[in-house]
Amino acid sequence: LSKVLELRMQQPFSGQALPGQPQPAVWMQAPQSIPGCPPGLEYLTQLDQLLVHQKVELFEVLTNIETQNRFVVKNALGQQCYYAYEESDFCMRVCCGPHRGFMMHIVDNAGNEVIRMNREFKCCAGCCWCANSDCCSYSINVESPVGTPLGTIRQSQSCWVPMYEILDANEQKVFDIEGPCCVCPGPCCTCDFPFEIKSNSVSIGSVTKQYSGFAKEMVTNATNFSVTFPKDLDVKMKAVLLGATFLIDMMFFEQNQN
């Protein structure tokens, strides 16, 4: 055994993970700063798609106690460009579940917070029939850098299908998001759920919840999303559309099992 270990130590390290170990993260190369672009959003100038993968929390799987969500944000090649983590109160997570208020911090690969998203707690919000009132509609405010508003994702009134408005920093509507007529997630449903991003009733992209596999859907609330948009879209609006992912996830794909 000692001879085998000695030979093993003499071999050069290749930088690859050993069999059975998690593969190391592949980072997206940091672009140069761009005039007029909020610091840290330069990544988005190169992208027309983001993959948002929620991390599986072992403590939550074993206890069914809701933990703070964490996400890895990647480009279409699977290279990580951002990391997102939730900040919320423990009692609110346990008592209110997916209706809780929370703050989402988005950091780049250097650990710098580049985007902050905030959803206030609203006691009676969520019903699409009465979402024309602010007190009854969920919304997320997006800032970048922290303290500078970029826009808002706000639930809008509808008869059945989920509807959202994407507003800019001046509260002017830029896009609409229209969800599928039926959102019934579960381990037996292998469908993807597309929420179409529309400009003047023309689809320009989508926020799609992707099927994660039977085991993951059965045991956890961890979700996978794909966000697509035009490559030449303003980076500020791309960041706001990323925020729509977390609002949709919390409203439809988080289940209170406490």
Q: What is the 3-state secondary structure (H, E, C) of 200-246?
A: CCEEEEEEEEECCCHHHHHHCCCCEEEEECCCCCCHHHHHHHHHHHH
DSSP helix/strand/coil, 63: helix
More confident residue, 183 or 49: 49
Lowest-pLDDT choice from 4-8, 83-87, 224-228:
4-8
Peptide bond into 180 cis (omega under 30): no
Q: What is the pLDDT of residue 73?
A: 97
Q: Where residue 185 falls among pLDDT bands split at 50, 70, 90?
A: low
- The residues near 57 (Cβ < 8 Å, ≥ 6 apart) are 67, 69, 70, 220, 222
Q: What is the dihedral of CA 229, 235, 237, 239, to 10 degrees?
A: 90
Q: Where residue 2 falls among pLDDT bands split at 50, 70, 90?
A: very low
**Alpha-carbon separation of residue 71 from 8, 27, 201, 242 (angstroms):** 36, 15, 31, 12
- Cα(125)–Cα(203) distance, rounded to whole angstroms? 27
Lowest-pLDDT choice from 68-77, 122-131, 182-191, 235-244:
182-191
Q: What is the pLDDT of residue 140?
A: 97
Mean pLDDT of the 11-40 span: 68
Lowest-pLDDT choice from 76-80, 123-127, 147-151, 232-236:
123-127
On whether the CB atoms of residues 199 and 177 are closer than 8 A, the answer is no
Q: What is the pLDDT of residue 226?
A: 96
DSSP helix/strand/coil, 255: coil
**Residue 116 CA to its chain's centroid (Å):** 12
Residue 11: count other Cβ atoms within 10 Å of its Cβ: 7
What pairs with residue 195 in β-bridges?
Answer: 207
Mean pLDDT of the 110-129 span: 91
Domain map of the chain by residue range? 27-253
Mean pLDDT of the 98-112 span: 93
Residue 36 has pLDDT above 50, yes or no: yes
Q: What is the pLDDT of residue 216?
A: 58
Q: What is the pLDDT of residue 5?
A: 35
Mean pLDDT of the 242-255 span: 91
Specify the DSSP class assigned to residue 205: E
What is the average pLDDT score of the chain?
Answer: 85
Residue 254: count other Cβ atoms within 10 Å of its Cβ: 19
Give me the architecture of the 27-253 domain, per CATH: Beta Barrel (2.40)
What pairs with residue 50 in β-bridges?
Answer: 227
Report the run of H or E that residue 97 belongs to, with start and end: none
DSSP helix/strand/coil, 249: helix
Residue 11 has pLDDT above 60, yes or no: no
On whether the CB atoms of residues 154 and 171 are closer than 8 A, the answer is no
Mean pLDDT of the 141-147 span: 96
DSSP helix/strand/coil, 141: strand
Q: What is the pLDDT of residue 214?
A: 58
Return phi, psi of residue 144, to 5°.
-165, 120
- Token pair, residue 140, equals 């997320």
For the chain, the C-alpha Rg in angstroms (whole number) is: 20
Residue 49 has pLDDT above 60, yes or no: yes
Q: Where residue 66 falls among pLDDT bands split at 50, 70, 90?
A: confident
Q: What is the pLDDT of residue 3?
A: 43
- Cα(44)–Cα(49) distance, rounded to whole angstroms? 9
